[in-house]
Structure 1
Amino acid sequence: MQNKFYLTEKLPPYIFSAIYQLKSDAALRGMKILDFGMGNPDSAPPQHVMEKLSSLARDPKLFGYSVVGGIEILKKSLCDYYQRRFLVELDYKSETIVTIGAKEGIASLATAISDDKNYICTPSPFYPIHNFAFVISKGKTNHINAISAMDFLVKFKKHVESKSHKPQAVIVSYPCNPTTEIADLDFYRELVDFCKKHQIYIISDLAYCELYFSEKDKPHSILEVPGAKDIAIEFTSISKSYSMAGCRVGFAAGNKILINALYKIKSYLDYGSFNPLQIVAADALSEKSDEYLKNLRALYKNRGEFLVNLFETELGWKVEKPKASMFLWAKLPQKFSAFSSFDFCKKMIEEISVAATPGSAFGKNGEGFVRFSLIHDEENMRRALEQMKKIF
């Protein structure tokens, strides 16, 4: 009987699973892990969202199947959000769709558009699904090694212009997980103009668009660029911006052809998220959450500055302050330059009970870096620092 399969053999070992196993083994030995690995928000969702969900959960009529592509009230709320936040007009019927989180949406889109003749381009480092969604769909990917958005754009354009076979699509994600890099509107304008010229679709992952730390760094939507909807689709989510990661509700907006392709695949695969979760997601996207978002941004900004300061003053580890997202992206300190990022994280877990994510989890170009999630208060960050002093 077959015990090896095409996809499971083609996919590399999942580094996140390996780190999870290290944490589990440490816990079995009685170690209490201070976990800065997974980007799992520690804040409560908006109060009005929790109160509404509590009420909706008592309605037995809401426990049946939902509808493919999302309920109307949520799709209209997404359109209102785009109009208010980005001044972008959307047709909720043909230019939006609800997904089971942005990750599922991107994976389902990859299933819809991949074939063995085309390939997509993605920056490296990359959020894993940006690459492996296409690998799983038996498509091909080409990695553009770049940290900054403009460096990626220059290298991407050079790649396209040097090839007779153009990519089917390109993925961009700013603010970026893991690097925290941001992109301005000029970046999107240039990308849209170039991709229109070469007939390349753009897939934008905007999952961290509400987690920015100054008005000048406020993220833009690619759909703000006139004509972008001709070639671009954009994914967003309630997971990080509203601390609702477990709800698994995300969205896509933009190009009608890609929205329709995504809808067709999802019609075979799922009936969408639990109806009450979609209803409260619509509430989260409303203006009622504005004060919540303001406070959440301040929380992550303060945590980032606090941890950067601790690293520099107490460990001599210079780390750049993030301008957005909920992460720190840190180059391994000189003392550990001979370590792989995985071995460095393994050492921290096994010796000092502190967990982070190795940069190699985000592609080969992430090697030599480590990602810390800003999911602990100052007391726990200080505790982690005292532990880290033991190996620095």
Structure 2
Amino acid sequence: MPEFKLADRLATLPPYLFAEIDRVKQEVAAQGVDIISLGIGDPDLPTPQFIIDALYESAKKPVNHRYPDYIGLLTFRQAVADWYKERFNVDLDPHKEIVSLIGSKEGIAHFPLAFVNPGDLVIVASPNYPVYPVASGFAGGEVLTIPLVEENDYLPDLDAIDDDTWKKAKIFYTNYPNNPTAATATPEFYQKLVDKAREFNVIIVQDAAYTEVYYDDNKKPLSILETPGAKEVAIEFHSLSKTYNMTGWRIGMAVGNETLVAGLGKIKENCDSGIFQAVQEAGIEALKHGEPYVKEFRQIYKERRDYVIDALRNINISCRVPEASIYVWANTPKGYTSAEFVSKLLRETGVVVTPGNGFGAPGEGYFRISLTVDTDRLKEAVSRISQL
């Protein structure tokens, strides 16, 4: 039999974190163990019915069965612009400053292909969503990790990056509300980051997928594009996935600097054929009319968050109270590494959580809980954790 060798970019790639967790989960489930999965951030709450109804009606239109526009329907891009104006008071040109995505992950993964040359330096604030460094590496970039630590509220210390590094950098990846730490960014941090990027001609890639899952109406997460000067240097990735429980629908958007948006669009022209137009039309309805439903979802997540925080503290596991996102970032019990604790928990109790070091070395000593099961199952999960 002939042997086929993987390309170097794949041969050196570690297993994708969530795929590996799923593999072990299936192994344990095959032994008859009742699995409670708190590992992947996949909402259990249903997509609102009015969005499903919109998809059904739109899918009946023959015109929507043909190839869609590469950058997305203008009506969808206009709906995104309207939503950004209403939510963040950010003005966007739907013709030049918005491109539709087959989910934000797709756009984030493709973006470095448009702007990173082999050897270019890419800065990633970590712990981080694994796609940032992987996509940068696929494009030939050299990745520098900047640690996010609890003592600094999981904001990167921009002053710790010397001028020579800033001069070499091509992209700075950031993500708030943060996955996995659930931290949020301040206006002061965004302004300092934008100022640095403008000074040194660095692209900011901001992943904003969790801005609509927040727990205090007086502390709504920000868009980086609210920051003066941000549109000169930044592109922001967003998604309908977590906001409207549409993870399987695969629809998102990138917005911001028109050169950055156009570059990503050029890659997409050559890599995909756009989003099914019926999904885009359903997405328009979500953006226009979804807020009352999102408000209900936030209350459900808040109840789950509050229960988990109290329950973990009652069994002497310390954790930070998240202001946003669907995650709780907790310290591993003494005597365990992240991987040891997560493996023991899964194999002995059937509870799946995510090891902090899976998001980068700065995540060692932590684990992430996803609030994507109902409260009864969360109670059972914490009860099992307490048995270790």
TM-score if structure 2 supplies the norm length? 0.95
Q: What CA distance in whole angstroms lies between the structure 1 residues aligned with 2:246 and 2:362?
A: 30
Cα 1:158/1:385, change in 2 over 3 Å: closer
Matched-pair contact (CA < 8 Å) for 2:147–2:156: no
Cα 1:111/1:359, change in 2 over 3 Å: same
Please give the residue correspondences for 1:225-374 in structure 2 after superposition, counting only pairs within 5 Å.
Answer: 225-286=227-288, 288-313=289-314, 315-334=315-334, 337=335, 339-374=336-371
SS in 1 for 2:172: strand
- Residue aligning to 1:42: 44
Matched-pair contact (CA < 8 Å) for 2:331–2:365: yes
2:83 alignment partner, one of 62, 81, 84 = 81
Matched-pair contact (CA < 8 Å) for 1:149–1:181: no
Counterpart of 1:253 in structure 2: which amino acid?
A: V
Q: What CA distance in whole angstroms lies between the structure 2 residues aligned with 1:187 and 1:252?
A: 21
Matched-pair contact (CA < 8 Å) for 1:123–1:152: no
Q: What CA distance in whole angstroms lies between the structure 2 residues aligned with 1:4 and 1:129?
A: 19
Q: What CA distance in whole angstroms lies between the structure 2 residues aligned with 1:31 and 1:20?
A: 14
Q: What CA distance in whole angstroms lies between the structure 1 residues aligned with 2:51 and 2:159?
A: 43
Please give the residue correspondences for 1:125-204 in structure 2 after superposition, counting only pairs within 5 Å.
Answer: 125-147=127-149, 155-163=157-165, 165-204=167-206
Per-residue displacement from partner, 1:218-242 (whole Å, max 9, x unpaired)? 1111111222111111000000011
SS in 2 for 1:25: helix
Structure 2: gaps of 5 or more residues: none
Q: What CA distance in whole angstroms lies between the structure 2 residues aligned with 1:160 and 1:285?
A: 41
Counterpart of 2:324 in structure 1: which amino acid?
A: A
Task: Report the CA distance between 1:164 and its aligned residue.
Answer: 7.3
Task: Report the CA distance between 1:55 and its aligned residue.
Answer: 1.9
Please give the residue correspondences for 1:60-139 in structure 2 after superposition, counting only pairs within 5 Å.
Answer: 60-139=62-141
Per-residue displacement from partner, 1:265-320 (whole Å, max 9, x unpaired)? 1000111121111111111111x21211111111111111111111122x222222
- Residue aligning to 1:18: 20
Per-residue displacement from partner, 1:192-230 (whole Å, max 9, x unpaired)? 112111111111110001011112321111111222111
Cα 1:41/1:160, change in 2 over 3 Å: same
Cα 1:164/1:202, change in 2 over 3 Å: closer
Q: What CA distance in whole angstroms lies between the structure 2 residues aligned with 1:148 and 1:96?
A: 34
Identity across matched positions, percent: 34
Matched-pair contact (CA < 8 Å) for 1:125–1:364: yes
SS in 2 for 1:84: helix
Task: Report the CA distance between 1:160 and its aligned residue.
Answer: 3.8
Counterpart of 1:157 in structure 2: which amino acid?
A: D
Q: Greater CA deviation, 190-199 or 97-106?
A: 190-199
Q: Greater CA deviation, 205-214 or 44-53?
A: 44-53
SS in 2 for 1:186: helix
User: In the alignment, is residue 377 of structure 1 matched against residue 379 of structure 2?
Assistant: no
Q: What CA distance in whole angstroms lies between the structure 2 residues aligned with 1:388 and 1:28?
A: 21
Cα 1:75/1:138, change in 2 over 3 Å: same
Matched-pair contact (CA < 8 Å) for 2:35–2:350: yes
Matched-pair contact (CA < 8 Å) for 1:149–1:182: no
Q: What CA distance in whole angstroms lies between the structure 1 residues aligned with 2:156 and 2:102?
A: 33
- Residue aligning to 1:56: 58
Task: Report the CA distance between 1:365 and its aligned residue.
Answer: 0.8
Q: What CA distance in whole angstroms lies between the structure 2 residues aligned with 1:26 and 1:76?
A: 47
Structure 1: gaps of 5 or more residues: none
The count of aligned residue pairs is 386
Matched-pair contact (CA < 8 Å) for 2:155–2:185: no
Counterpart of 1:352 in structure 2: which amino acid?
A: T
Task: Report the CA distance between 1:2 and its aligned residue.
Answer: 3.9
Q: Greater CA deviation, 163-172 or 48-57?
A: 163-172
Matched-pair contact (CA < 8 Å) for 2:46–2:245: yes
Cα 1:150/1:202, change in 2 over 3 Å: farther
Q: Greater CA deviation, 175-184 or 340-349?
A: 340-349
- Residue aligning to 1:5: 7
Matched-pair contact (CA < 8 Å) for 1:149–1:187: no
Cα 1:95/1:149, change in 2 over 3 Å: farther
Matched-pair contact (CA < 8 Å) for 1:178–1:371: yes
TM-score if structure 1 supplies the norm length? 0.94
Matched-pair contact (CA < 8 Å) for 1:147–1:179: no
Q: Greater CA deviation, 253-262 or 8-17?
A: 8-17
Q: What CA distance in whole angstroms lies between the structure 2 residues aligned with 1:117 and 1:26?
A: 42
Cα 1:269/1:154, change in 2 over 3 Å: closer
- Residue aligning to 1:223: 225
Q: What CA distance in whole angstroms lies between the structure 1 residues aligned with 2:150 and 2:93?
A: 33
